[in-house]
Chains A and B, each alone.
Chain A
Amino acid sequence: MASMRDIKRRRSSIQSTGQITKAMKLVSTVKLQRTKQAAQNSKGYFDYMYRTVSSMLAKAGQIEHPYVKGNESDKKAVVMITGNRGLAGGYNSNIVKLVTRGDLKKEDMIIYTLGKKGREAMNRHGYTLAEDYSTMIDAPEYVDAMRLSATLLSAYRAGEIGEIYLAYTNFKNTVVHEPKLMKLLPVDKAEQIEGPVEEIQGSEAPMNFEPEEEEALDMIIPKYVTSIIYGGMIESVASENGARMQAMDNATTNAEEMIDKLTLQYNRARQGSITQELTEIIAGSQAQS
């Protein structure tokens, strides 16, 4: 059996770890409230944006626009959103798994990382990395997303990349977050035409565009890409805090369990040593008499 001193030292070490995880849990709970609110506030905008672009494409018929048609390049840009910090359960590794799973060929991918953890992991796996945008994820701002999408779109127009994907964590609710890989460009018509599109189309007269469809697409698609990236950023941040809150909650519970167990062991060891001392004293006095 371990000595009393060892058990005591171990117990106090776990106790202080438990205090840290508890504090981290509280911090991420507060952050979660804030980021969750932000994610909810912006949901309306993204849903509407998505619907508008979908219905535009559905109505516009056969448009020969580079954003719809695609270009020659095989390269695929993947915008990968992870956290800058660890200790968030499977949050970071789930995204890394999703991207490295093999849906896209490794040689074709160029990874645009938001989040240090993802960058480190992809670097280890030997993927081609583009610039780092990790600072954006600390406090996502719409202008950041604008800057990133401008970079992506100019590379797309120049033919350096042929497709753009977004890997982010969808915030379903406080406990459920799912990693998602989404294709941004070229906009897939087949995928887009589903659900609410008919609602808009059905009863209404055909939509007119000013300027003409192609020109309008030219201006709306960049906004669409920006808004999806921004949405991905906010949802990911909310998910990160949610994941960290859960992970830290589990860690605190585990720490408490271990402390209970060690306290029991410690008391047994203490009793054991007292019994032993007593036996020795009695044995000693009996020997003398």
Chain B
Amino acid sequence: MAEENSNIFDVRVITPDRTFYVGEATMVEFNTTEGEIGIYKKHIPMTVIIKPGVLTITGEEVKKAALHSGFAEILGDSVTILAEVIEWPDEIDEMRAMAAKERAERLLLERDPKTDIARVETALQRAMARINVLH
């Protein structure tokens, strides 16, 4: 457990297949359905839904990961992220992400009534999250 007076809190990121990250941090940032948020210690208890984006954990060092879907439970002294899909930068194939981004952008420009716009937009967000983590 983190110290009472410090500004450090516990962070846990778990996925269906593994415990992705467990550690302490002073700040956590990620993207939610309501916009990007940054969390410090003593945040009000809140449950938020995740949108594709970059997860930044600032502790002794800064760690980044591409977080695609899931939700997070925020309590005063801990943040737990239940991630359905999440990747460390070294697990990302940049070429593939670039290709996916271009494909999604093209589909959006074409405005074909048959394409599922919401789905293409999510695909674009995912590709952007991957690319952003790498740069």
| A216 near B14: Cβ-Cβ < 8 Å | no
| B16 near A208: Cβ-Cβ < 8 Å | no
| B45 near A204: Cβ-Cβ < 8 Å | yes
| A52 near B46: Cβ-Cβ < 8 Å | no
Which one of A16-24, A38-46, A281-289 contacts B? Answer: A38-46
Q: Tell me which residues across on chain B come within 8 A of A227, comparing CB atoms.
A: 16
A48 and B45 in contact (CB under 8 A), knowing A41-B19, A204-B76?
no
Interface of chain A: mostly helix, strand, loop or mixed: helix
Q: Tell me which residues across on chain B come within 8 A of A67, comparing CB atoms.
A: none
| A142 near B49: Cβ-Cβ < 8 Å | no
Smallest distance from the beta carbon of B26 to chain A beta carbons, Å?
21
Interface bits B80-92 vs A (CB < 8 Å: 1, else 0): 1010100000000
Q: Tell me which residues across on chain B come within 8 A of A38, comparing CB atoms.
A: 17
B window 1-42: CB within 8 A of A: 14-19, 32-34
Interface residues contributed by chain B, number (CB under 8 Å): 24
Chain A minimum-CB-distance residue to B37: A210
Q: Does any Cβ of B come within 8 Å of A206's Cβ?
A: yes
Alpha-carbon distance between A134 and B15 when the two chains are bound, in angstroms: 24
Alpha-carbon distance between A3 and B69 when the two chains are bound, in angstroms: 71
Alpha-carbon distance between A76 and B44 when the two chains are bound, in angstroms: 40
Alpha-carbon distance between A46 and B46 when the two chains are bound, in angstroms: 20
Chain A minimum-CB-distance residue to B33: A211
Q: How many A residues are at the interface, by size bracket?
A: 20 to 34
| B44 near A142: Cβ-Cβ < 8 Å | no
Which of B15, B17, B71 makes the CB contact (< 8 A) with A220?
Answer: B71
Q: Does any Cβ of B come within 8 Å of A207's Cβ?
A: yes
A window 2-45: CB within 8 A of B: 38, 41-42, 44-45
Q: Does any Cβ of B come within 8 Å of A1's Cβ?
A: no
| A223 near B70: Cβ-Cβ < 8 Å | yes
| B17 near A210: Cβ-Cβ < 8 Å | no
Q: Tell me which residues across on chain A come within 8 A of B32, comparing CB atoms.
A: 210
Q: Tell me which residues across on chain A come within 8 A of B82, comparing CB atoms.
A: 45, 48-49, 52, 223
Closest 10 CB pairs of A and B: A208-B46, A45-B14, A207-B45, A219-B49, A142-B16, A210-B48, A210-B34, A42-B16, A45-B16, A41-B18
The 19 sampled A-B contact pairs (Cβ below 8 Å) are A42-B16, A44-B19, A45-B15, A45-B16, A49-B82, A56-B47, A142-B84, A204-B45, A205-B76, A206-B45, A207-B47, A208-B47, A210-B32, A210-B33, A210-B34, A211-B33, A211-B49, A219-B33, A223-B84
6 new A-B contacts at CB < 8 Å, known A142-B17, A219-B71: A48-B80, A142-B16, A205-B76, A209-B46, A223-B82, A223-B84
